[in-house]
Amino acid sequence: MAQTIFDKLWQAHRIADAGDGADLIAIDRVMLHERTGGVALKSLAEAGQPVLAPERAFAIMDHIVSFRAGRGRDESRSPGGETFITQTRAMAKAAGIHLIDTDDARQGIVHVVAPELGLAVPGASIVCPDSHTCSLGALGALAWGIGSSEAEHALATGALRVTKPIQKRVCFNGHLGTGVTAKDAALHLISLHGSGGGARAAIEFAGSAVEAMDIEARLTLCNLAVEFAAFTAVIAPDDKVFAYLQGRPYAPDNELWSRAEASWRALHTDDDAAFDDEIEIDAGDIAPTVSWGTSPEEAVPVTGHVPSDARPAALSYMGLSAGAKLDQLPIDGVFIGSCTNGRLSDLRAAGDVLRGRQVAEGVRAICVPGSQSVLRAAEAEGLDKVFRQAGFEWGSPGCAMCFYAGGETFPPGARVVSSTNRNFEGRQGPGVRTHLASPATVAASAVAGRIADARMFAPMDAVS
C-alpha cells in the first residue's frame, strides 16, 4: 500500500499495539534540557529506574542559562535557576547520559544543537520535553515534544505509548519572493488556516518552495508547526540534507554512511499515498509577515493593517486599534535568536540589513546566537561586529528572551519585534507586546524604530 513519509517513519518505530488505539513507539534519542531534565532524572532515580539506553540520551543547558556575554558556569537568567543547572549536571552524570554543559563548545538551544551534531538524522525518532522538538522533522526525523513524565517514561523504557496522529500535507508551490523567508511562509500559513489548523496532525511540508529551502530555513518552517497545533512536521530528506549531515560528529561515518543514506532515500511519500487533508499555498502570494496580536494566527503582511474584526482582548493587550498600519508602529525593543531563527543564516540576513546602519534611539536590541557553533561561525565572519556597531547587545547562546523565566526582560508595555515563535500574553515578560517576524524584518524594525519592511533596507554595500 502506498505510504506517506510519516507512515514509513511510524512503521519503522512501531514495536507493538499498546491498546486503546495507541502504539508502542521506539525512541532513538531522548534530549533533555535543564528546566525539566534534572527533575525527570531525579524522579527516575528515586523510583529506582535506571536509564535504559544512556548512550542515546543527551542533556543540554539552554532554557534558563544566562545569556550575558561572559556568563559564569552556573549563572542563570532566572532567579533561583542555578539549582536547575547544577542539578541537571549532577543527575546527568549520575545517570551516565551525555551532558552538553553550559561551558561546552557544543552548547546551545537543544533544537539548534541536535542538527549541528548530527544527532537528528533522517528516520531517527527523537523526543524532548519541549514543544519545538518538531523542528527536527526538517531533516526527515520523527521528532516531537513531550511532557516531563513522558521523558521519564522514554528514558526508562526506550519507548512511548503514542496514538498515531492524522496526516496533512502542506505544499508551498512556486517560489518565495525576494526578502520572503520560511518564517513568513509559516506565519502566512497559520494566519490563513488558524493556530488550530494543524491540530493533532503530522504535517508534511512539500512543494517547490520547500525543496528550494536550505536546511536552516526548513528547520524554521518545521519549528512553527507546533504553533499550528501540529503533533509534528516532517520534510522528505534530500541531497541537501545528506550534504548537511555528512561529517557531523554523531552522523554515521564512512562505513555506515552509504547504508544509512540508501535507507534515507526511501523516506519520501509514495505517489498515491493519501492524506487526511491537503493544503496548497502559492509561495508567490506570501509577503514578509508580522504578527499583530497574541496568537500566531493574528499576523498580516508587514505593509498591512490590524484587521477591522480584530479580537478586542488582543488589541487591548497589544495596545493597538483596529485598522492601525503595522509599519507605522513605534517599537521599544527587538530580539534576534531562538530555535526558530537563531542560526547562522538568520544572523546573516539580519546582518545584511544592519551593516553600516544604526539601531534607532530608544530601541533596546539584543541578539543571542542559537548555539556556540553559530556564535563562533558568526564571529569568524565578523557578524558580531556588525551587530555591535549597529547598537545590538551580543549574548551567550541559549533560549534567552524567547520566553520569560523571571529575571531581566523588556519593561511592561514595551513593543518588541522578535524572531521567536510565540506571541502569547506575557511570553517575553509581563505586559511585553511581542510581534513575531523574520530576522530581516526584526533588523529593519530596529533601524527604523518602528515595524519596517526589510525590502526597503537594501544592503549598504549594494546601495553605495
- Out of 82, 164, 229, 250, the residue judged to bind other proteins by CB under 8 A: 250
Nearest distance, CB of residue 66 and ligand SF4, angstroms: 14
3-class SS of residue 115: helix
* Cα angle value 41/124/31 (rounded, 5°): 20
Applying CB under 6 A, the residues found at the interface with ligand SF4 are 62-63, 109, 111, 130, 132, 338-339, 399, 402-403, 421
Q: Does 320 bind other proteins (CB under 8 A)?
A: no
Q: Does 16 bind other proteins (CB under 8 A)?
A: yes
* Cα angle value 423/63/149 (rounded, 5°): 95
Nearest distance, CB of residue 110 and ligand SF4, angstroms: 6
Q: Does 94 bind other proteins (CB under 8 A)?
A: no
Nearest distance, CB of residue 29 and other proteins, angstroms: 8
Nearest distance, CB of residue 42 and other proteins, angstroms: 7
Nearest distance, CB of residue 40 and other proteins, angstroms: 11
Q: Does 265 bind other proteins (CB under 8 A)?
A: no
The values of phi and psi at residue 241, to 5°, are -65, -45
Nearer to ligand SF4, 349 or 400 (CB): 400
Picked from other proteins, ligand SF4, none, the partner binding residue 63 (CB below 5 to 8 A depending on kind) is: ligand SF4
Picked from other proteins, ligand SF4, none, the partner binding residue 156 (CB below 5 to 8 A depending on kind) is: other proteins
DSSP structure string for 157-222 = HSEEEEEPPEEEEEEEES-PPTT--HHHHHHHHHHHH-TTTTTTEEEEEESHHHHTS-HHHHHHHH
Nearer to ligand SF4, 35 or 153 (CB): 35
Picked from other proteins, ligand SF4, none, the partner binding residue 123 (CB below 5 to 8 A depending on kind) is: other proteins
Picked from ligand SF4, other proteins, none, the partner binding residue 28 (CB below 5 to 8 A depending on kind) is: other proteins
The cell for 101 is 554543559
Nearest distance, CB of residue 20 and other proteins, angstroms: 4
Question: With CB under 8 A as the contact rule, which of the stretches 156-164, 174-182, 273-281, 300-308 interacts with other proteins?
Answer: 156-164
Nearest distance, CB of residue 98 and other proteins, angstroms: 10
Picked from ligand SF4, other proteins, none, the partner binding residue 109 (CB below 5 to 8 A depending on kind) is: ligand SF4
Q: Give how far Cα 425 sits from Cα of 70, 230, 272, 329, 445, Å.
A: 31, 21, 43, 19, 21
Q: How many CB atoms lie within 10 A of CB 263?
A: 12
Q: Does 131 bind other proteins (CB under 8 A)?
A: no
Q: How many CB atoms lie within 10 A of CB 422?
A: 22
Q: Does 237 bind other proteins (CB under 8 A)?
A: no
DSSP structure string for 291-354 = E-SSSTTSEEETTSB--TT--HHHHHHHT--TT-BGGG-B-SEEEE-HHHH-SHHHHHHHHHHH
Q: How many CB atoms lie within 10 A of CB 113?
A: 26
State the angle between helix axes of 383-390 and 372-380 in degrees (0 to 180), rounded to the nearest 10.
90
Picked from other proteins, ligand SF4, none, the partner binding residue 263 (CB below 5 to 8 A depending on kind) is: other proteins
Nearer to ligand SF4, 13 or 132 (CB): 132
The values of phi and psi at residue 370, to 5°, are -70, -20
Distance in angstroms (rounded) separating the CA atoms of residues 194 and 11: 30
Q: What is the pattern of x (binds other proteins, CB under 8 A) and - over residues 34-53?
A: --------xx--xx-x----
Nearest distance, CB of residue 5 and ligand SF4, angstroms: 24
DSSP-derived secondary structure letter, 130: S
Q: Does 54 bind other proteins (CB under 8 A)?
A: no
The values of phi and psi at residue 46, to 5°, are -65, -35
Nearer to other proteins, 253 or 285 (CB): 253
Question: With CB under 8 A as the contact rule, which of the stretches 245-253, 295-303, 413-421, 427-435 interacts with other proteins?
Answer: 245-253
3-class SS of residue 378: helix
The values of phi and psi at residue 219, to 5°, are -60, -40
Q: How many CB atoms lie within 10 A of CB 80?
A: 10
Nearest distance, CB of residue 104 and ligand SF4, angstroms: 17
Q: Does 121 bind other proteins (CB under 8 A)?
A: yes
# binding residues, other proteins (CB under 8 A): 38
Tell me the Cα Rg of the chain: 21
Residues that bind other proteins (CB under 8 A): 15-16, 18-22, 24, 26, 28, 42-43, 46-47, 49, 55-56, 121, 123-124, 147-149, 152-153, 156-161, 250-252, 256, 259-260, 263
